[in-house]
Amino acid sequence: MKMILLAPTIVILLLCSSSTPAQLDNTNREPQDVQKSLTETEAWRRRLWFSATLATSFDTNINHDPQGVTSYGLVPSLGVHFQNSVEKPSFEIEYEIAAHSYTNSTEWDRVSQHLVMSYRRHLFGAWSTRTESEITFKGSSEDRELNNQYVLGQQLEYRLNENNRLQFAGAYRVKRDPVDSGSNAIDPYFGIRFIRKLAGDKRLALSYRYDKNRTWDPKNRYIRWAYEAEFTTPIVDRRTRLSFDLTYKPRLYGRTVRVDGGRVPRRDGRWIFETQFERVLRSDLRMVFVYRFERRDSNDPEKDFQSNQAGLALTYRW
């Protein structure tokens, strides 16, 4: 009788003993699966993220005219970004919407939208290409544009060596002004840019660009050249960066102005100096301080202006 009762007990113990390694094995595998899932989630977060920015600004001449109206501004914005790879993405898309509000002027109060998509591809050897399309409605969070723009651009890059790159770029740009149809324009441009990586994670960039703005109204047509030099360097560590940017933009208009009793084509020369201090406060929080000086000289005295602009922006990313 004892043997009859003992036999089923032995069988049950054997079954339990045979299943125990499987259960232990499953138990051991579960953390790996959870860890794998967490890794995939983290990778996805590094490919898709959202951001919120609160920017403030102070401008001594918001309207860019000889009178010089001082204004304070507040620009909150929301954005989303996606890229198909963490390390070397070939496709990226980004959308941003921002609300602009300024004192002493209602002209620049608006809601702007900005959408940009880009596709990168390695061609052969040291050559690579990048195609970019951009759509803006009333500018973006970083400028003061009131028109809508549609841009399709192409960039060709040649890597001279490990530290030097040469970029050739061109774009077809269409501008549409919802208020003044005479400012509607086709404004294609092309340019060249040299980028050099220096010791200590510093960078120097020199660029040239030419564009021809063909508006519906002949008086707004012009040819513009842009010469730019940019230097970026880390401070203390890689979490803090400081950059300096100097740009000169001469412009020749199709219209004429009266100078010394005669009429001559209008000519402008615009100098822009900008410095930017950027600090990564946390992995998900960034602070940027910007100062910008801008001056335009023209043979039309009514178009001369000078402005100083300073701003602080905090960006949270999740």
All domains of the chain in start order, with CATH: 2-317 (2.40.160.40)
Choice among 19-33, 170-184, 193-207 with the minimum mean pLDDT: 19-33
Instruction: Report the 10 Å Cβ neighbour count for 251.
Output: 18
H or E segment to which residue 17 belongs: helix 2-47
Paired tokens of 295: 């001056």
Helix/strand/coil for 106: coil
- Residue whose pair of structure tokens reads 């198909």 in the numeric block: 84
Lowest mean pLDDT among 11-15, 113-117, 126-130, 135-139: 11-15
- Alpha-carbon gap, residue 182 to 176, rounded angstroms: 9
Calculate the average pLDDT of the chain: 87
Q: How far apart are CA 249 and CA 269, in angstroms?
A: 6
User: In angstroms, what CA-CA distances link 244 with 87, 181, 192, 200, 276?
Assistant: 27, 37, 19, 16, 7
How far apart, in whole angstroms, are the C-alpha atoms of residue 99 and residue 215? 28
* Cβ atoms 77, 141 nearer than 8 A: yes
Query: Count of CB atoms within 10 A of residue 36's CB?
Result: 10
Which residues does residue 253 pair with via DSSP β-bridges, in sequence order? 222
Is-above-0.85 flag for pTM?
Answer: no
Higher pLDDT, 270 or 88: 270
Say how many residues make up the chain: 318
Strand bridging mode 91-102 / 110-124: antiparallel
% of the chain surpassing 90 pLDDT? 69
The vertex-174 CA angle with 181 and 96, nearest 5°, equals: 100
Q: Is the pLDDT of residue 163 over 80?
A: yes
- Residues 179, 258: Cα–Cα separation, whole Å: 28
Alpha-carbon distance of 118 to 138, in angstroms, equals: 21
Task: Give per-residue pLDDT as tens, 101-126.
Answer: 999 988 899 999 999 999 999 999 99
Q: What DSSP designation does 147 have? A: S
Of the pLDDT bands very low, low, confident and very high (cuts 50, 70, 90), residue 43 is low
- Do residues 100 and 119 lie in contact, with contact meaning Cβ atoms separated by under 8 Å? no
